[in-house]
Structure 1
Amino acid sequence: MSNLQRRRVVITGMGAVTPLGHNVAESWDAVRAGTCGIAPITRYDASERKVTLAAEVKDWDGAALLGRQRAKHLARFTQFALIAAREAVETAALDTASIDTTRAGVIVSSGIGGVEETENQQTSCLKRGFDRCSPFYIPSGISNMAAGEVAIEMGFKGMCTCPVTACAGGSNAVGDAFRHIRDGYAEVMLAGGTEAAITPLSIGGFTTMRALHTGADPKAASIPFDARRSGFVMGEGAAMLLLEEREHAIARGAKIIAEVVGYGVTCDARHITAPAPDGEGGARAMAQALEDAGGVAPEAVGYINAHGTSTPLNDRCETAAIKTVFGDHAHQLAVSSTKSMTGHMLGAAGAVEAVFTALALHDDYLPATIGYVEADPDCDLDYIPNEGRAKRVEYALSNSLGFGGHNACLLFKKWEG
């Protein structure tokens, strides 16, 4: 399909549940204020564990938001997704009863899904016997159930799926939904990611991989591109974007936030956890996103929301990848990692960062990388240290790079309509 035949895709609604707030407005206000969402773990007793910090969703009451009986049988990651989806539909002012629901779909990523349900049931069944496992364990714990529950609630009967591509999943969900609309298979898609993996087993697994920061100071924990960085901080939450075919959105008088114009997706095909040397796979994903948008010039991009995990290898390789794609322009780009505030939300990360990137374009404001103190010679770009800045940008990228060598890149354009 040629670029002339491809339909255009816009964002008309967004929802979020993050370590910074229970909706988009709270989360974005906190980002603009440079708020750190990292604190000591409260989900379980971590006092004797190596890792004691995480970026939790604060003061969450699923029963109050979803009803006590319903919330009882919904895993935490699914609760987050449902509330974010509701907000996305509400802010889009979409009357779901007035659209062709067979042409509306849902794509929600989750890297680990209901791992908490698995841990709880394993503990219970070891005492009571496995034939007394909860009948709700499987339908609440499987990773695709957030997508399924969102589709059920909204009545969307088109494509419904769940990319499980680790830390790239949220961006894959948005990118796949973008293509689904652009190529003529739907007019409306709810897309995003959700995660709730701050649990003893998950944190333990990442700890023994030496992937997590083990210090006690929240302000020095998730510090992407800083020479002192030593690992990422686990975060949780969800984000959902309501994507629409442009003419469909305009016809119903929708307010458009930004336009999705390109999507690049690659694989390193090299290592289960480490990125390819110099971020070769990530570089190809960024280049693909530019080409996918009809050949947007690298010089037209003004901001990148980096994957920026605060691990020594990721940040160095991502910086190298940006230089590969953008050449001399790399040093004119503004690059930041909002994971410095939210921690790393795994399958939700790309979706949350897509929301922040769209808002950066809409509000002419580029968020900071907070906690940045000590420069790393291998990471020598403009990382918007500590203070965000007012700046108009026409194109912005959001990068997501996952274990298994998964790379996804989304290109957004400022809406001028």
Structure 2
Amino acid sequence: MNTKRVVITGIGIWSCLGKNVEEVAQALREGRSGIGIDPERTTYGYQSALTGIVERPRLKGLLDRRLRNGLAEEGEYAFMAAREAFAMAGVDETYLDRNEVGCLFGNDSSSTPVIEAADIMREKHDTALLGSGYIFQSMNSTVTMNLTTIFRLRGINFTVSAACASGSHAIGLGCMLIRQGLQEMVLCGGTQEVNKYSMATFDALGAFSKRMDDPQRASRPFDHDRDGLVPGGGGAALVLEEYDHAVARGAHILCEVVGYGFSGNGGGISQPSDEGSFIAMQRALDDAGLSPDAVDYVNAHATSTPQGDSFEAIALDRLFAGKKAWISSTKGMTGHECWMAGASEIVYSILMMQGGFVAPNLNFEHPDEHSAKLRLATTTQEARLDVVLSNSFGFGGTNSALVIRRV
């Protein structure tokens, strides 16, 4: 039984669409893509050099050298997003010093420090040359260990490693902890590195679009002519808080997290499942006490892969056929932000809820047999969004779905 209500009082984002919520909200409304070509990937040996173009933050002046030393690239993005989220929530250093705040972030890789350290060892054969930064940058828990150190957080503290559902599961777990009265506030989110090392193994699978002559049209969720995903990245952060606690301190409430659903496919390691997708969505709605009729918008997982989009479309049609919900995948604009996607897409959904619009499913021109049945928003739609469902699915058959509602 849900004994406590969970609300979101702050959000932060650093992505290929912009470096703050204002820039990102404008890009979403305009349907503006952040995808381009990374020449370093071509030189390095990638089949596809397509990626979301994410600017590295300048941290000098924001963090002292000792703290910067332990941050991997994805930690830098997460820090900038968390900084913005705390500011929006009205959470300052004084509050953090006086209260216990938790931290759950989705992250599933930290490639650069591992490869750089290995290169030094191959050449020099001397561990003394590695320095202290590499250990804190290379661990999969690098993001949460750094954020809790920087912001002096003393609550729950661990990293959620669940492939491309990582960020979504982090929010779901944060919600559960607050519902159970174990935490009053948790910083949740997801982050993804964008360096040339991070996606080479994905490229080896032939998972990426080869449409390099037209980068901004390469990511084509649900479109018949999709030929693979485009990797992206950055950082997204959300301040989750117990409702009464938020009201008592006068926080502005953005929305309520009312449903979290999950499932496992139990099949091949890279095989998607319409049944697994359906179960996660249905559980999230059941948890929220809502029917599909109540949903105004679905932020689909659809990454622009031939198989994945089809299986999700089957599940979406099964649940939302004949219903009012608009459906779109923001990955047409951002590419697939991987470990970050489940968190960033909740941020995107909140921005749409606040702005009264549905961002377009970019580059959808020709439906296939499954997507033809969906109520896809192919252009920006003005709409009041009271209830939003967001999907995130990952390798290993891990599925997560979240439901947020206007308060």
Q: Fold match, TM over 0.5? A: yes
Change over 3 Å in CA distance of 1:101–1:226 after alignment to 2:
farther
Residue 66 (structure 1) aligned with residue 63 (structure 2): yes
Partner of 1:167, secondary structure, is: coil
User: What does residue 404 of structure 2 align with?
Assistant: 412
Segments of 5+ residues of structure 1 without an aligned counterpart are none
User: What does residue 128 of structure 1 align with?
Assistant: 124
User: What does residue 322 of structure 1 align with?
Assistant: 316
1:304 Cα deviation from its structure 2 partner: 0.4
The CA deviation string for residues 210-261 of structure 1, in whole angstroms up to 9 with x for no partner, is: 2111221212211101111111111110100001101111111111111100
Residue 397 (structure 1) aligned with residue 392 (structure 2): no
What is the alpha-carbon distance in structure 2 between the residues aligned to residue 95 and residue 47 of structure 1? 43
Partner of 1:266, secondary structure, is: strand
Residue 192 (structure 1) aligned with residue 171 (structure 2): no
Change over 3 Å in CA distance of 1:108–1:254 after alignment to 2:
same
* 1:304-319 correspondence to structure 2 within 5 Å: 304-319=298-313
Change over 3 Å in CA distance of 1:285–1:42 after alignment to 2:
same
Tell whether the 8 Å contact from 1:109 to 1:144 is kept in structure 2 after alignment.
Answer: no
What amino acid is the match of 1:262? G
Residue number among 89, 92, 104 corresponding to 2:89 in the alignment: 92
What is the alpha-carbon distance in structure 2 between the residues aligned to residue 44 and residue 316 of structure 1? 29
Partner of 1:194, secondary structure, is: strand
What amino acid is the match of 1:145? T
User: What does residue 286 of structure 1 align with?
Assistant: 281
* 1:108-123 correspondence to structure 2 within 5 Å: 108-112=105-109, 114-123=110-119
Change over 3 Å in CA distance of 1:326–1:44 after alignment to 2:
closer
Tell whether the 8 Å contact from 1:105 to 1:160 is kept in structure 2 after alignment.
Answer: yes
Residue number among 243, 251, 255 corresponding to 1:254 in the alignment: 251
Of 117-126 and 67-76, the range deviating more from structure 2: 67-76
Residue number among 202, 208, 212 corresponding to 1:206 in the alignment: 202
What is the alpha-carbon distance in structure 2 between the residues aligned to residue 284 and residue 360 of structure 1? 26
What is the alpha-carbon distance in structure 2 between the residues aligned to residue 108 and residue 272 of structure 1? 23
Residue 384 (structure 1) aligned with residue 381 (structure 2): no
1:45 Cα deviation from its structure 2 partner: 5.0
The CA deviation string for residues 112-168 of structure 1, in whole angstroms up to 9 with x for no partner, is: 1x2111122222221111523333212111121211211122222111111100000
Change over 3 Å in CA distance of 1:56–1:62 after alignment to 2:
farther
What is the alpha-carbon distance in structure 1 between the residues aligned to residue 81 and residue 368 of structure 2? 37
Partner of 2:199, secondary structure, is: helix
Change over 3 Å in CA distance of 1:27–1:130 after alignment to 2:
farther
User: What does residue 169 of structure 1 align with?
Assistant: 166
1:31 Cα deviation from its structure 2 partner: 1.3
User: What does residue 327 of structure 2 align with?
Assistant: 335
Partner of 2:401, secondary structure, is: strand
Tell whether the 8 Å contact from 1:121 to 1:134 is kept in structure 2 after alignment.
Answer: no
Tell whether the 8 Å contact from 2:42 to 2:48 is kept in structure 1 after alignment.
Answer: no
* 1:139-178 correspondence to structure 2 within 5 Å: 139-178=136-175
Partner of 1:21, secondary structure, is: coil
What is the alpha-carbon distance in structure 2 between the residues aligned to residue 192 and residue 183 of structure 1? 20
What amino acid is the match of 2:81? A
Residue number among 19, 22, 28 corresponding to 2:19 in the alignment: 22
The CA deviation string for residues 258-278 of structure 1, in whole angstroms up to 9 with x for no partner, is: 1100000111011111112xx
Residue number among 263, 267, 270 corresponding to 2:267 in the alignment: 270
Segments of 5+ residues of structure 2 without an aligned counterpart are none
Partner of 1:36, secondary structure, is: coil
TM-score by length of 1: 0.92
Tell whether the 8 Å contact from 2:47 to 2:210 is kept in structure 1 after alignment.
Answer: yes
Change over 3 Å in CA distance of 1:43–1:353 after alignment to 2:
farther
1:70 Cα deviation from its structure 2 partner: 3.6
Residue 50 (structure 1) aligned with residue 47 (structure 2): yes
What amino acid is the match of 1:379? S
